[in-house]
Structure formats: C-alpha cells, structure tokens
C-alpha cells in the first residue's frame, strides 16, 4: 500500500460538510453557525502555520528552537485550561496551576517515551518530540480542565457540608476528601472511556493515520498502544497534581475553606 496524497479539492469537498452543518444551525436557529465557521477557519489557519513551522523545524533540528516551540505549546494549553473554568482562582493561580501540572506531566512522559521506547537520534528530534508532546498536552489539558472545574464547583456547592465537618474537628483533607475524589474521577473519566472503546467503537487517530499512510496494522496497533498508555499516565499525573494543588489553595494555615479565592469566569 502506498501513501495517497490529497489535493486541495479533496479538502474543499470535506469542508462542505462544515458549511452544511452551519446551514442546519441557521435553519434550526441554534446560533452556532458563526462559531462553527470561525472555529473551522481558525483550525485551517493554525494547522497550515503549524505545518510550515514543523517543516522548518524538521530541517533544522535545533534543540533550542524545539524547546521554544514546546514551551509555547504548554503556555497555550495553560491558557485553554484557565478559559474553560466556570469558577477560577484569583490572580495567576488558575493559569499557573494548570500550566505547571501539564508541563510536569507532559514533558516527563514525553521524555520518558523518547529516551526509553522510541529512542530517536537525537532524542529531541522535533519530528518525534513535538507530535508526542502535542498528544500528551491535548489529553492532559482536557483532564486537568475537567478536574479543576469539577473541584471548585463541588467545593462551592458543598460549602455548608465542608464547613460543618471542619467545625466538628475534621482536617481540611478529610472534609474535602469527597470533593477531591469526585474531581479526580471526573478528570480521568474521558481517558478511561477512550481506552475502553478503542478498537471496538473507534480506531484512534494515530493508528488510523498510520494505516492510511501504509503502515502494517499490527505495527500501527503497537504505536497506538504505546501512545494510549503514555496519554493515560500523563493525564493521571496532571489531574492529580492540579486537583491536589487546587484543593490546597482553597485552604489556609488555619484550615479554613477559602472560597473567597474563587471568582466567576466571565470567559467560560
């Protein structure tokens, strides 16, 4: 099997589906047509620019440029996490917690894969590092944003119960235990569902792309398994770090519930 190149006409035909969806939204008065078209246009511009940048990076293979692009990806992912919160911490905390947890989890897992399993030469080859980091950050971002959002929402909802347990002499960790567990479960549920359904309900994107590019299905499965395990590990580390750090931010040295450190997110 050989690689099948796509023409711009092929892409344009597929893009007509977006126009059809936008038309249906207009007819049904869903109010999503503008957002749908803008999102599609952003996607096209972003992916074209990324393709040009990656082409240049692959040719240069500079560790400094690769590191700069990786840092930019982490910072943008952190911005997305903070924008998705219905309630956010005051100051830089929402952005800082999300960014730091994703940076630690994403970079740790990506470097582990590059140095122990994939082993490109050099290990920081952008052809391998950036796609892997992108997959780690994308999934970790979803987990962290869901976990943090669920934690702060549940803390506000359960305020009376938490403060009652604190008044009865429970530690803050004991009083917040249910909230923290609920938040971690919420942050991990999407990757658990993805692993459960992979193969039977859908073929994951990386595996599908490799098969379309001519890779033998068994080899594509091996890479997909590796990536799914890495994503699950990175998501777990990121969610745990963000939720526990966020819970710690909701208390002080006197172990009081500090909901005054939260504000409504006008951008959510």
Specify the DSSP class assigned to residue 262.
Answer: E
Can you give the pLDDT at residue 268?
Answer: 55
Chain Cα centroid distance, residue 261: 24
Tens-digit pLDDT string for the chain (268 aa):
566 778 889 999 999 999 999 999 999 888 889 999 999 999 999 999 989 988 888 888 888 999 999 999 999 998 888 888 888 888 888 888 889 999 999 999 999 999 999 999 888 999 999 999 999 998 899 999 999 999 999 999 999 999 999 999 899 999 999 999 999 999 999 999 989 988 878 778 888 888 888 888 898 899 889 999 999 999 999 999 999 999 999 998 888 899 888 887 766 5
252-261, long-range: CB within 8 Å, 24+ apart, which pairs? 255/166, 255/171, 255/172, 256/166, 257/155, 257/159, 257/162, 257/163, 257/166, 257/172, 257/175, 259/155, 259/156, 259/159, 261/89, 261/90, 261/93
Cα separation of 162 and 200, whole Å?
42
Cα separation of 207 and 188, whole Å?
22
Per-residue pLDDT of 56-72, as tens digits, reads 888 888 889 999 999 99
Can you give the pLDDT at residue 3?
Answer: 67
Strand partners, 263: 88
User: What are the domain boundaries of the chain?
Assistant: 1-60, 61-264
Per-residue pLDDT of 107-158, as tens digits, reads 999 999 999 999 998 889 999 999 999 999 988 999 999 999 999 999 999 9
């Amino acid at each position: 099997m050989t690689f099948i190149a796509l023409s711009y006409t092929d892409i344009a035909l597929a893009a007509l589906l977006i126009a059809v969806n936008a038309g249906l939204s207009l007819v049904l008065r869903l109010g999503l047509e503008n957002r749908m078209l803008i999102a599609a246009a952003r996607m096209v511009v972003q992916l074209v620019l990324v393709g040009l940048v990656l082409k240049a990076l692959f040719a240069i293979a500079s560790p400094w440029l690769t590191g700069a692009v990786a840092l930019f990806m982490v910072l943008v992912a952190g911005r997305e996490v903070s924008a998705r919160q219905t309630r956010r911490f005051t100051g830089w905390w929402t952005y800082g917690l999300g960014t730091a947890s994703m940076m630690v989890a994403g970079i740790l897992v990506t470097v582990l894969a590059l140095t122990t399993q994939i082993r490109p030469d050099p290990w920081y080859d952008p052809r391998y590092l950036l796609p892997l980091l992108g997959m780690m950050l994308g999934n970790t971002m979803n987990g962290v944003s869901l976990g943090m959002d669920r934690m702060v929402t549940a803390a506000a909802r359960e305020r009376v119960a938490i403060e009652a347990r604190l008044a009865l002499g429970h530690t803050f960790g004991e009083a917040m235990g249910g909230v923290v567990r609920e938040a971690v479960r919420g942050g991990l549920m999407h990757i658990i569902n993805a692993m459960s359904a992979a193969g039977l309900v859908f073929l994951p994107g990386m595996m599908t792309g490799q098969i379309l590019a001519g890779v033998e299905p068994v080899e594509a499965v091996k890479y997909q398994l590796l990536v799914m395990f890495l994503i699950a590990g990175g998501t777990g580390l990121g969610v745990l770090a963000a939720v526990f750090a966020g819970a710690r931010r909701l208390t002080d040295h006197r172990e009081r519930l500090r909901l005054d450190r939260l504000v409504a997110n006008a951008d959510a």
